[in-house]
Amino acid sequence: MPGARSSAFWWTLGFFRSEWVTTFRRWRTLALLAVLAAVPVLVGVAVKIQTSGGGEAGDPHGGGPAFLTQVTNNGLFLVFAALAATLPVFLPMTVGVIAGDSVAGESAGGTLRYLLVVPAGRTRLLLAKYATTLAFCLTATVVVAAFALATGALLFPTGDVTTISGTTISFGAGLLRALLVAVLVAASLVGFAAIGLFVSTLTSSGIAAMASTVGLLITVQIVDSIPQLDVIHPYLFPHYWLSFADVLRAPVLWDGVVKNLVVQGVYALVFGSAAWARFSTKDVTA
């Protein structure tokens, strides 16, 4: 029995590893990561060009991503500005593509039935798909943060970090907060990833699943921006996405961060359960 359990563990780990490798070796995944990597580079270059003649970064009327005006004083702020710029649209759209195609893409390609022939089990397969999507969430966030850090250090000065509260922390402490922000941004996509996985179990068309997931994202964000619907805003998955800004306060304000994590956990539980209920009873014909 111990030997059988050990064999099952290593077989499951190998199955998960196979899913991860398959996803991250696709040209589509690499292209999505490349686009995300280009965003902080373009933002950094644009700020450098805009401020080269003595101008100020960002929109003079206060528009643009948060933290953009602080980038010229400290390149580390490009990490926060890039994450604030990519989180509302670019990051969740790429996650929607990966999550939406996770099951529906296999069905459309005719490989889902063969995956289920292997003694993996539907639950294990669904968990592997979700774990792979979460791995992409973390990888995508780290890619944005890493390229933003490299670009910021190359184009702008670095040093002690002035927090939103006006206090000063060391550059090392600022790096730790940047790492924490990257983890929080990745965690902010957990609920949306579960929604995408659920949508992917509803159809046999990968394109339809991806389009529906991204369309749902846009619709919910529009609803979140309508003041007349502010009663339901706290229950929408993107409402607290930018709460990571409170990490740059001294002391850190955790209220918004905790609310965001709770909302993401609820969405992951609800839509993950719905995806399991749908997939476990789905008639796989492809």
Query: What's the chain's length in residues?
Result: 286
Q: Mind listing the pLDDT tens digit of every residue in the chain (286 residues)?
A: 554 455 555 556 776 887 788 888 889 899 999 999 999 999 999 888 887 765 555 555 555 556 778 888 888 899 999 999 999 889 999 999 999 888 777 666 555 555 555 556 777 888 888 999 999 999 999 999 999 999 999 988 888 888 888 888 888 988 999 999 999 999 999 999 999 999 988 888 878 888 999 999 999 999 999 999 999 999 999 999 999 988 888 888 899 999 999 999 999 999 999 999 988 776 555 4
Alpha carbon dihedral 205, 211, 216, 219, in 10-degree steps, equals -150
Q: What is the DSSP letter of 26?
A: S
Angle CA 191–256–41, to nearest 5: 70
Q: Is the peptide bond before 251 cis (omega within 30 degrees of 0)?
A: yes
Q: 176: how many CB neighbours lie within 10 A of its CB?
A: 13
Tokens of 97: 């593509």
Cα–Cα distance, 22 to 131 (Å, whole number): 13
Tokens of 109: 């390609």
Cα–Cα distance, 221 to 223 (Å, whole number): 5
